[in-house]
């Protein structure tokens, strides 16, 4: 009882104008002539509030310019209203790709009318990974968005173990258990190769990504499917292994030309490798697209600025970002965790290299 009267006194003092800083829920309640609970219900959109009370509260909020205190909310509600976007360091360069930028834009767009915060987390060392694991364990975020996950990345499993809502960009394998949003890599690659075939190319080679990456295998599968659908068999001499880098593209292209000088079309599983291939083709005196048609994947800035401009497979990146965020929000909202797997279609952007 004593405590209660003290509290009331203080509330009165506060009401008398002493108070510094921004208004609290309590002050809104006093102003609206209702209890704290009612204000809270209005703010959180509970249906169990009369129209009259709701209107009064909303007016008071507007007059006072009330903004809820996030920390207090987080503490009382045992949530954070924040999600982490995790970017492994080796990939930070990829950041520089429109790909990333678009994903982030998509995420931002989806989050815009939520009051979720987006935390940027760069993980560059095992030590930082350990630290991030602590973060997770300490429930400092409500969910996690992971981009460019490698097959051996332990983070997704850790997330699953902690029962932390998470969405991957891409997947680690066909059996990916964690929720993910991926592009249709198989379909995109198939469409690219089909396009080359349609343009009359017959000796179509492919430069793959590292075979331990699922995305690389998918793009190779797409190549195989398209070739087989054309009735031809896949000639393994036309498949060269790259590593998604420009230099890797160069090496692979040299191999291919040595094995099969009659190549008239190349599907590179990334724009960067296409750029490398293009350089080697030029060195060898071959013209693009007259002698050899070339298609890349990703539709990055490099594609647009190559000479000739590179035909490439575009992923719906912004849409992927949006979807990732949406899926994560859904997962956070529901209690039992249902995994969601979304695959979005790709599009062939035709330029001058075919």
Partner DNA sequence: GGCGCGTGTGGGAGCGCTCCCACGTAGGCT
Partner DNA sequence: AGCCTACGTGGGAGCGCTCCCACACGCGCC
Q: How far is the CB of 232 from its own copies (least distance, A)?
A: 33
CA distances from 323 to 104, 110, 173, 184, 344 (A): 11, 8, 20, 14, 9
Among 31, 60, 61, 66, binds DNA (CB under 7 A): 66
Q: How far is the CB of 80 from DNA (least distance, A)?
A: 12
- With CB under 8 A as the contact rule, which of the stretches 67-75, 161-169, 217-225, 340-348 interacts with its own copies? 67-75
Question: By the 8 A CB rule, do 101 and 136 touch?
Answer: no
Instruction: Reduce the DSSP state of residue 75 to 3 states and report it.
Output: helix
Segment interacting with DNA (CB under 7 A) among 62-70, 123-131, 180-188, 344-352: 62-70
**Range list of β-strands (E), 104-235:** 117-123, 143-146, 166-169, 179-183, 204-208
SS3 per residue for 291-351: CCEEEEECCCHHHHHCCCCCEEEECCHHHHHHHHHHHHHHHHHCCCCCCCEEEECCEEECC
Closest approach of Cβ 107 to its own copies, in Å? 9
Site for its own copies in 149-188 (CB under 8 A): none
Decide: is 333 part of the binding site for its own copies (CB under 8 A).
no
Show Cβ contacts of residue 86 under 8 Å, excluding neighbours closer than 6 positions: 121, 123, 132, 144, 145, 146, 147, 155
State the DSSP H helix or E strand holding residue 265, giving kind and residue range, or none if neither.
strand 265-268
* Of positions 12, 16, 62, 69, contacts DNA by CB under 7 A: 69
Among 59, 76, 96, 198, binds DNA (CB under 7 A): 76
Residues numbered 239 to 298 that lie near its own copies (CB under 8 A) are 275
One residue of 47, 200, 231, 285 binding DNA per CB under 7 A: 47
Report the residue from 13, 67, 130, 198 that binds its own copies according to the rule CB under 8 A: 67
Residue 37 partner contact from its own copies, DNA, none using kind-dependent CB cut-offs of 5 to 8 Å? DNA
Name the site residues for DNA (rule: CB under 7 A). Answer: 3-4, 6-7, 10, 21, 24-26, 33-38, 40-41, 43-44, 47-50, 52-54, 66, 68-69, 72-73, 75-78
């Amino acid at each position: 009882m004593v405590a209660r009267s003290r509290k009331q006194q203080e509330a009165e003092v506060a009401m008398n104008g002493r108070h510094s800083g921004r208004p609290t829920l309590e002050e809104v309640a006093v102003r609206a002539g209702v209890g704290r609970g009612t204000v809270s219900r209005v703010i959180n959109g509970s249906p169990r509030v009369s129209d009259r009370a709701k209107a009064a509260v909303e007016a008071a909020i507007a007059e006072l310019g009330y903004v809820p205190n996030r920390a207090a909310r987080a503490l009382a509600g045992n949530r954070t209203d924040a999600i982490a976007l995790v970017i492994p360091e080796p990939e930070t360069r990829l950041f520089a790709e429109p790909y990333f930028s678009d994903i982030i834009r998509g995420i931002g767009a989806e989050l815009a009318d939520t009051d979720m915060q987006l935390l940027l987390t760069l993980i560059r060392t095992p030590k930082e990974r350990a630290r991030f694991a602590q973060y997770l364990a300490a429930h400092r975020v409500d969910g996690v968005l992971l981009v460019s996950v490698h097959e051996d990345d332990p983070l997704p499993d850790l997330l699953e173990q902690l029962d932390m809502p998470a969405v991957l960009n891409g997947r680690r394998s066909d059996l990916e258990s964690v929720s993910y949003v991926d592009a249709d890599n198989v379909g995109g690659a198939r469409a690219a190769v089909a396009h080359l075939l349609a343009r009359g190319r017959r000796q179509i080679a492919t430069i793959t990504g590292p075979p331990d990456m699922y995305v690389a295998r998918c793009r190779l599968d797409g190549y195989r499917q398209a070739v087989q659908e054309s009735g031809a068999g896949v000639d393994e001499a036309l498949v060269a292994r790259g590593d998604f880098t420009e230099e890797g593209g160069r090496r692979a292209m040299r191999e291919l030309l040595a094995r099969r000088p009659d190549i008239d079309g190349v599907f590179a599983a990334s724009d960067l490798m296409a750029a490398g291939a293009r350089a080697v083709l030029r060195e060898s005196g071959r013209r693009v697209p007259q002698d050899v048609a070339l298609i890349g994947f990703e539709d990055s800035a490099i594609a647009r600025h190559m000479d000739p401009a590179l035909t490439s497979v575009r992923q719906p990146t912004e849409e992927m970002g949006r979807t990732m965020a949406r899926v994560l929000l859904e997962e956070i909202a529901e209690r039992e965790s249902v995994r969601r797997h979304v695959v979005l279609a790709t599009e062939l952007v035709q330029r001058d290299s075919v």
